[in-house]
Amino acid sequence: MTGPDDFSPARPHPIRNALLLLAGFLVIMFGSAALALYVDWLWFREVRLAHVFRTIVGTKVALGAGAGVICFALVYANLSWAARHPKDHLLSQVYGPGQQMLKNVLERYLGPVVLAASVVLALMAGVKAAARWEDLILLLNATPFGRLDPQLGRDLGFYVFQLPFIHFAQGWLMGNLVLIGVVTAGAYLALGAIGLTPLGPMVNPRAARHLGLLAGAALLVLGWGFQLDVFDTLFSKHGVVTGATYTDVYARIPAYRLLAVASALAGMVVVALSWRGNWKLPVVVAGGVLALSFVGVNLLPGMLQKYRVVPNEIVKEGLFIKRNIEATRVGFGLDAISAEEFPAADSLSAEVLVDNHVTIENVRLWDHKPLLSTYRQLQQIRTYYDFVDVDNDRYRVNGTMRQVMLSPRELSYGNLPGGANWINEHLTYTHGYGVSVGPVNRISQEGLPEFYVKDIPPATQVPALKVTRPEIYYGELANDYVFVRTQAKEFDYPVGDQNQYATYDGKGGVPMSGPLAKLAFALHFGTTKLLFSGDIVPESRIMYHRDIKDRVGMVAPYLIWDGDPYMVIGENGRLVWMLDGYTTTGNLPYSERLGSLGNYIRNSVKAVVDAYDGSIALYIADPDDPIIRTYAKAFPNTYRPLAEMPADIRAHMRYPQDLFAVQAHMLQKYHMLDPQNFYNNEDLWEIPRVGEQPAQPYYTIMKLPGQEHEEFILLLPYTPAKRDNMTAWLAARMDGEHYGSKVVYLFPKQKLIYGPRQIEARIDQDAKISEQLTLWSQMGSSVIRGTLLVIPIEDSLLYIEPLYLAAERGSLPELRRVIVAYGNKLAMEPNLELALRAIFGKGVPVPSGGAAPGGARPPQGIARSESMEDLAARSQDAFNRAQDASRAGDWAAYGEALKELEAALKRMNR
């Protein structure tokens, strides 16, 4: 026989069934988590960073387990205390027949219910706490900034490394106390210790003391929160700028300190009153704290702001505006930008262009979008290849620095021959192949780009660009996973109508060393084909996390990774990816926030990922950044000094466009250092708009003012707010010891310097250019206006814009014209040299360009071989200029135009 409390299979037992379901859920949840951890562990071992995995998982487990144990102890202790002697709780006035039945059921299963509730709440609390593992890492490895906040006098490291975890701990504890209070009150209500009677609410004295103790603890923790709010005022948005402004300093901070003390006292009062069996006065006391909070934090500061600050805002807020300017400039690295005057003189001549011929030879005439379309048409080779992006870089070509456009040829898994099937996607087609590289300013006779590196296998005549390991197993288009060293044929590259096959010879991938690994990966990737495939043998290796951004994100998930990785060709011919990693925070006092990015950013990490074996190397690019120094302490042997990066790879480090764009955006306002000017926006800048979009930073090779040699730089112009003339330009250097240096060049305020929109307007208003564009449009061609480049040359500015033609139904843009503007002069010619000669006369340097196997070398005197259409246009233009010079009586110009006409006609007769 079984007693009434025994579990009998003959009748349903809801509590037992619920516990079984909970146990099953926990088994599935933890089983899936364990499988994912095992697969990740194998991957971290492959990249030789198993210590990173151990640190991250160990921190999560320690934090989650600690929080879970504390939560379990609190919940179980409180619920057990509430469930103790349940008969003492009975208030006969409360119960009806239905409630009595519920009470009887609860009393029968009280032990299992308390245990189950404690376990569930502890798991929830542990999971929530484990997600804050990064905050604990920062807390335990904090590095001082060596700079104090100007209001409270604490090192900035306290706000960045310690305050986030302290906030979490306070919030977690408060949330758990509230939850425990609600659950405990619910238990007392169910057991009859709390209820509504005809005489009003009734609370058992024992329950009142218990709940009063919890309420008192919650008020103490609330007081702790008010003290933390004092620190949070340094990120306040209540004033004219971010940070503790006048009202915060003289109203909110004192109010928060008063509330911290009042909450602690109220907590003790609530406990004392509840212990005497009085539950009404504690409610009044707690309500008094909330009322005091409203008055001290909202009402009085609002009145102070309205009646004292606003009428004389600049005087009251001047000190705090200055603090905001200084902190924001530090947070975004603007304090490291030097300022120089740029005269913008009208002294450019053919002789000056000759002295700066390297700059002219590296003007980027190919925009990214049309060039990417053209690369896909000319170098995709097969439909299952694709070019994702095209990137700017610089290489030595025949001893001269050349700016190039480089794009990897990756495998597009959506276009595999034979359709999408498991063998094709995971065994046969495993990698992309090679790169296409071309100069930024060279074009073939048909108006198409020339190539330094092209075709499959990669062909080149430039030693610095020779590719010896063209296979791309890790890139931007990778699928979930592939197997190498299998019994199946692994496609390498196409050869005519045939295919070349190869066997992987690298160290990438996790070995399929036994049945356990097979089973784990089959479960993880959700396929049984892996288990029963005869092509996968013990020597096989599985490659996963092949997307390079996902790959570095696994190793350093606490960094923000740049969205534009780029490929570098090493001196040994291997292809490697370079990625920029940023440390960020939103906890720098007084610094202005920029959306979700925060108010502090540094490009502190350079990651190098080998495209063949997936190996990862992380280098510290900014050793002065306290955040990356903190992570380097937390993850020893993970980061290397930048000096250890191979010199051939380090020579291709770029200042990232994303960071430059962020800094350029902030500099629009934060170049103003005077609080009065800042408050009135007296010298606000804007990034000029070209069409409907703001101008984008662009790379170029040029000689900076005052420098002796050309270098690879990133630049962007500025215009005054709501005006189109140019007021400054910002440059970032990136060669050698100057990497990361930034300079803003300021134009004379009393002089008109044409901005990009003004040059665009002049181009639109030019009768000859408009006539030619209209003619092309009528002939069924689409005219694509390229990016207008502002090129500083010594102390002058040159404006260059390429024009592309594309058939209305085609996708092969051709570079057909180059527009050059200087001062009040404007010229459109078939190539850059002719356009420069039209403005500056003879003597303009001829671009040399080095080896270019993708197209014919331009004849002497022109930048590329011209078609009959180009020569006819050139002849017509020379004839028109001769007529104009004749009418004006400018016989020197007339003679020059006739000579150009004669030269063009001779070329047409060749």
Hey, is 448 helix, strand or coil? coil
Hey, is 230 helix, strand or coil? helix
pLDDT band for position 197 (cuts 50, 70, 90)? low
Between 648 and 773, the higher pLDDT residue: 648
Which residue type occupies 172?
A: W
CA distance 813 to 374: 6
Are 861 and 846 spatial neighbours (Cβ–Cβ below 8 Å)? yes
What pLDDT is attached to residue 27?
65
Q: Is the pLDDT of residue 807 over 90?
A: no
The alpha carbon dihedral of 749, 750, 751, 757 has a sign of positive
CA distance 842 to 833: 10
Q: Is the pLDDT of residue 543 over 80?
A: yes
| Residue pointed to by tokens 């140019």 | 726
Q: Which of 814, 817, 689, 827 is nearest to 758 (CA)?
A: 689
Between 23 and 834, the higher pLDDT residue: 834
What pLDDT is attached to residue 870?
59
Are 271 and 216 spatial neighbours (Cβ–Cβ below 8 Å)? yes
pLDDT band for position 209 (cuts 50, 70, 90)? confident
| Residue pointed to by tokens 């053209």 | 374
Mean pLDDT of the 328-347 span? 94
What pLDDT is attached to residue 157?
97
CA atoms within 13 A on the CB side of 358: 19
State the DSSP code for 81: H
State the DSSP code for 477: S
pLDDT band for position 28 (cuts 50, 70, 90)? low
Hey, is 818 helix, strand or coil? strand
Hey, is 444 helix, strand or coil? coil
CA distance 610 to 482: 17
Give the 3-state secondary structure percentages of the chain, helix then strand then coil, rounded to 5: 50, 20, 30
Quote the radius of gyration of the chain (alpha carbons, Å): 36
Q: What is the 3-state secondary structure (H, E, C) of 403-431?
A: EEEEEECEECHHHCCCCCCHHHHHHHECC
Mean pLDDT of the 880-888 span? 67
What is the phi/psi pair of residue 875, to 5°?
-65, -45
Which residue type occupies 865?
A: S
CA atoms within 13 A on the CB side of 771: 7
CA distance 178 to 76: 15
Q: Which of 674, 662, 507 is nearest to 595 (CA)?
A: 662
Cis peptide before 705 (omega within 30 of 0): no
CA atoms within 13 A on the CB side of 235: 18
* Spatial CB neighbours of 854, under 8 Å, sequence gap ≥ 6: 438, 444, 449, 450, 451, 452, 454
Percentage of the chain modeled with pLDDT above 70: 86
What pLDDT is attached to residue 2?
43
Pull the structure tokens for residue 477: 């288009």
Residue 115 is inside which H or E element, if any? helix 110-130
What pLDDT is attached to residue 23?
62
Hey, is 581 helix, strand or coil? strand
Q: Is the pLDDT of residue 55 over 80?
A: yes
What is the phi/psi pair of residue 549, to 5°?
-70, -40
State the alpha helices, DSSP H only, in 48-109: 50-83, 97-108
Q: Which of 875, 845, 846 is nearest to 863 (CA)?
A: 846
What pLDDT is attached to residue 100?
56
Mean pLDDT of the 825-844 span? 88
CA distances from 654 to 337, 392, 832 (A): 17, 9, 26
**Listed range (418-422, 432-436, 503-507, 609-613) with the worst mean pLDDT:** 418-422
pLDDT band for position 564 (cuts 50, 70, 90)? very high
Q: Is the pLDDT of residue 90 over 70?
A: no
The total of other beta-carbon atoms located within 10 Å of residue 494's CB is: 16
**Listed range (611-620, 655-664, 801-810) with the worst mean pLDDT:** 801-810
What pLDDT is attached to residue 854?
28
State the DSSP code for 574: B
Are 359 and 703 spatial neighbours (Cβ–Cβ below 8 Å)? yes
Between 187 and 588, the higher pLDDT residue: 588
Q: What is the pTM of this model?
A: 0.87
| Residue pointed to by tokens 């050139």 | 874
CA atoms within 13 A on the CB side of 506: 24
Pull the structure tokens for residue 883: 């007529």
pLDDT band for position 857 (cuts 50, 70, 90)? very low
Q: How far apart are the first and last CA of the chain?
A: 115
Largest CA distance in the chain: 126
* Spatial CB neighbours of 169, under 8 Å, sequence gap ≥ 6: none
Write the burial class of residue 396 (CB in 10 Å: 0-12 exposed, 13-18 middle, 19+ buried): middle
**In this structure, are strands 385-386 and 459-460 parallel, antiparallel, or unpaired?**
unpaired
What would the pLDDT profile of 425-477 be if each residue is shown by its tens digit?
Answer: 999 999 999 999 999 988 887 788 999 999 999 999 888 899 999 999 999 99
Pull the structure tokens for residue 581: 């990693």
State the DSSP code for 766: -
CA distance 432 to 454: 14
Mean pLDDT of the 202-214 span? 84
What would the pLDDT profile of 695-729 be if each residue is shown by its tens digit?
Answer: 999 999 999 998 889 999 999 999 999 999 999 99
What pLDDT is attached to residue 436?
96
Are 103 and 94 spatial neighbours (Cβ–Cβ below 8 Å)? no
Residue 116 is inside which H or E element, if any? helix 110-130
CA distances from 15 to 2, 83, 112, 880 (A): 17, 17, 8, 97
pLDDT band for position 230 (cuts 50, 70, 90)? very high
| Average pLDDT for the chain | 87
What is the phi/psi pair of residue 732, to 5°?
-115, 130
* Polymer length of the chain: 910
What pLDDT is attached to residue 872?
66
Buried-state track 679-709, b at ≥16 Cβ within 10 A, e below 16 = beeeeebbbbebeeeebebbbbbbbbbeeee
Hey, is 10 helix, strand or coil? coil
Pull the structure tokens for residue 401: 């620095």
Residue 578 is inside which H or E element, if any? strand 575-585
CA distance 360 to 352: 11
**In this structure, are strands 814-822 and 796-807 parallel, antiparallel, or unpaired?**
antiparallel
Q: Which of 595, 641, 596, 601 is nearest to 617 (CA)?
A: 641
Q: What is the 3-state secondary structure (H, E, C) of 332-352?
A: CCHHHEEEEECCCCCCCCHHH
What pLDDT is attached to residue 858?
35
The alpha carbon dihedral of 380, 384, 385, 388 has a sign of positive
The strand pairing partners of 499, in sequence order, are 494
What would the pLDDT profile of 465-478 be if each residue is shown by its tens digit?
Answer: 999 999 999 999 98
Mean pLDDT of the 151-159 span? 96
The strand pairing partners of 715, in sequence order, are 698, 731
State the DSSP code for 248: I
Between 690 and 43, the higher pLDDT residue: 43
Are 763 and 821 spatial neighbours (Cβ–Cβ below 8 Å)? yes
The total of other beta-carbon atoms located within 10 Å of residue 97's CB is: 6
DSSP code per residue over 504-545 = --SS-SEE--SHHHHHHHHHHHT-SHHHH-TT--TT-EEEE-
